[in-house]
Structure 1
Amino acid sequence: MNNKIEELIQLIENSDNIVFFGGAGTSTESGIPDFRSSDGLFNEKLNKKFTPEQLVSHSFYIKYPEDFFSFYKSKLIYKEAKPNDAHLALAKLEQSGKLKAVITQNIDGLHQMAGTKNVFELHGSVHRNYCENCGKFYNLDEMLNLDGVIPYCEECRSIVKPDVVLYEEALDDVVINNAVSAISSAELLIIGGTSLVVYPAAGFINYFKGKNIIVINRDNINLSRSNTLVINDSIGEVLNKAVLSNK
């Protein structure tokens, strides 16, 4: 493991255009669970078993808005979560000028909380909420403080929808273009905390034309690319050793 950490340190030191592509595993060390692992959640009111993917789908949001928001508020929002060493290390790399972009599938905003500026959120953010009718903006606290399980706009009484990409919804074109541009121009791509099974986001790494790829993930992932350094360990611990503790 120490040899791999040393190799990681050298790759970072020799690279001036690094891009990080991350998923849920980046935030699990902040106490945010990977909701995909909790399969078959049972909803007593509807007397039906739903997968997490169904519960955060556009169809479910339209058909069962109260149940959607009940699940969303209890399972996808973690207000007390703080950035872990992975987020802090990436922020440090950006401040040094080496890291050019963070591309994340997470919606928790922890990268920005750690200090990273150039973050492309493929699936949106819990911190942005908009009225579906008049477009009034609500931050997370404002949305949660609206009366009732379903948040209704104070101006026009329409539903306030979180700015997150639900299943069956398309990703934002501007975010896609920025993410693809960053990856395609990167010299070093670090992939962390993702199983690379959620598409279309996982397909973005195919645009990488640079020298090396680093994969930091507790579990093995299927990535048949040359010049790939694979470290199966805690992403927070690895980046702590390679960036935060490395003088």
Structure 2
Amino acid sequence: MQKIETLASWIQESERIVFFGGAGTSTESGIPDFRSAAGLYQSEQHSPYPPEEMLSHHFFVERPEVFYDFYRTKMIHKDAKPNTCHHLLATLEQRGQLKSIITQNIDGLHQKAGSSRVLELHGSIHRNYCMGCAHFYDLDTIIESVDLVPRCTSCNSVIKPDVVLYEESLDQTILYEAMEAISSADLIIVGGTSLTVQPAAQLVSYYQGNRSVLLNIDATPYDHRADLHISHKIGEVMDQVSRILGQ
């Protein structure tokens, strides 16, 4: 409890907060993470193809039917709702304290909670583009397509989700904005991420302050560097912080 009170106190005293989050931010919204014991990678270990392969660029190009079957059933959670963490961050943004959310998630829950300053390192399921003419399609197009592989109504080319697959590079503009946000923050909260996916995990090294917070159940390479380390579910921690702050 003392650590949570310290976190709440730091939040109250900060003016340039940056939140860096991963899959664990959304697990309490019913979206499975990837690498934990109950994560997506473990649940698919008996599949003919490992998730890392199915979520790769070459697999999307070579076996789009298998990709889309996996993508629709495992990666899309349209009915998921924001949890306490998402809502608290949105409130802090509205109060002018939180300057940026940097997320590895593709679910759009931060925006659904009301946040607007969201840098999506790995893209979003809510944006989809034709690989031929770049026509935009929303998520419902992917879900409701009568074809297993959705195709453009204009040129009949394959539609690709605007998510960063393995073998693809991150958007350099978003990376630069994330670096700038972290380097100018007076408090960074890192939550729900194993900090093992590169180059995203390297971004936390740009923080120059002395109030870094790590919220993660499992151990990470960043544990020894955090000024405050809380090993509990991020939603539960943020719920207690919200109560202390009177939100």
The bucket for the TM-score relative to the shorter chain is over 0.9
1-structure distance, mates of 2:243, 2:82: 14
Query: Which residue matches 2:236?
Result: 237
- Report if aligned partners of 2:149, 2:158 keep a CA contact under 8 Å in 1: yes
2-structure distance, mates of 1:156, 1:120: 31
- Report if aligned partners of 1:133, 1:158 keep a CA contact under 8 Å in 2: yes
Alpha-carbon shift at residue 14 of structure 1 (Å): 1.2
Give the residue type in structure 1 aligned to 2:234: I
Over 3 Å counting, the alpha-carbon distance change for 1:94 and 1:73 in structure 2 is same
Higher deviation after alignment, 215-224 or 96-105: 215-224
- Report if aligned partners of 2:210, 2:227 keep a CA contact under 8 Å in 1: no
- Report if aligned partners of 2:86, 2:110 keep a CA contact under 8 Å in 1: yes
1-structure distance, mates of 2:237, 2:223: 22
Deviations 1:131-154 (A, max 9, x none): 011111111012222221100011
- Report if aligned partners of 1:190, 1:214 keep a CA contact under 8 Å in 2: yes
Instruction: Please state whether the residue corresponding to 1:29 is helix, strand or coil.
Output: helix
Query: Which residue matches 2:212?
Result: 213
2-structure distance, mates of 1:97, 1:87: 16
Query: Which residue matches 1:46?
Result: none
1:30 aligned onto 2:38: no
Deviations 1:27-62 (A, max 9, x none): 00000001343245444xxxxx32211110001111
Percent of residue pairs identical: 50
1:75 aligned onto 2:71: no
Give the residue type in structure 2 aligned to 1:53: E
Instruction: Please state whether the residue corresponding to 2:217 is helix, strand or coil.
Output: coil
Query: Which residue matches 2:141?
Result: 142
Query: Which residue matches 1:9?
Result: 8
Alpha-carbon shift at residue 8 of structure 1 (Å): 0.6
Alpha-carbon shift at residue 226 of structure 1 (Å): 4.9
RMSD over aligned Cα atoms: 1.4
Paired residues for 1:92-241 under 5 Å: 92-223=91-222, 226=225, 228-241=227-240
2-structure distance, mates of 1:196, 1:80: 27
Structure 1 length normalisation: TM-score?
0.94
Give the residue type in structure 2 aligned to 1:26: T
2-structure distance, mates of 1:85, 1:227: 23
- Report if aligned partners of 2:129, 2:161 keep a CA contact under 8 Å in 1: yes
- Report if aligned partners of 1:183, 1:208 keep a CA contact under 8 Å in 2: yes
2-structure distance, mates of 1:171, 1:227: 26
Instruction: Please state whether the residue corresponding to 1:168 is helix, strand or coil.
Output: coil
Query: Which residue matches 1:91?
Result: 90
- Report if aligned partners of 1:152, 1:158 keep a CA contact under 8 Å in 2: yes
Q: List gaps (5 residues or longer) in structure 1.
A: 44-48
Instruction: Please state whether the residue corresponding to 2:245 is helix, strand or coil.
Output: coil
Give the residue type in structure 2 aligned to 1:198: V
- Report if aligned partners of 2:215, 2:234 keep a CA contact under 8 Å in 1: yes
Give the residue type in structure 1 aligned to 2:198: Y
Deviations 1:178-199 (A, max 9, x none): 1111011111000000010101
Alpha-carbon shift at residue 108 of structure 1 (Å): 0.1
Structure 2 length normalisation: TM-score?
0.94
Give the residue type in structure 2 aligned to 1:173: Q
Give the residue type in structure 2 aligned to 1:109: G
Over 3 Å counting, the alpha-carbon distance change for 1:164 and 1:119 in structure 2 is same
Instruction: Please state whether the residue corresponding to 2:242 is helix, strand or coil.
Output: helix
Instruction: Please state whether the residue corresponding to 1:50 is helix, strand or coil.
Output: coil
Query: Which residue matches 1:57?
Result: 56
Instruction: Please state whether the residue corresponding to 2:169 is helix, strand or coil.
Output: coil
Give the residue type in structure 2 aligned to 1:11: W
1-structure distance, mates of 2:135, 2:82: 29
Alpha-carbon shift at residue 16 of structure 1 (Å): 0.5
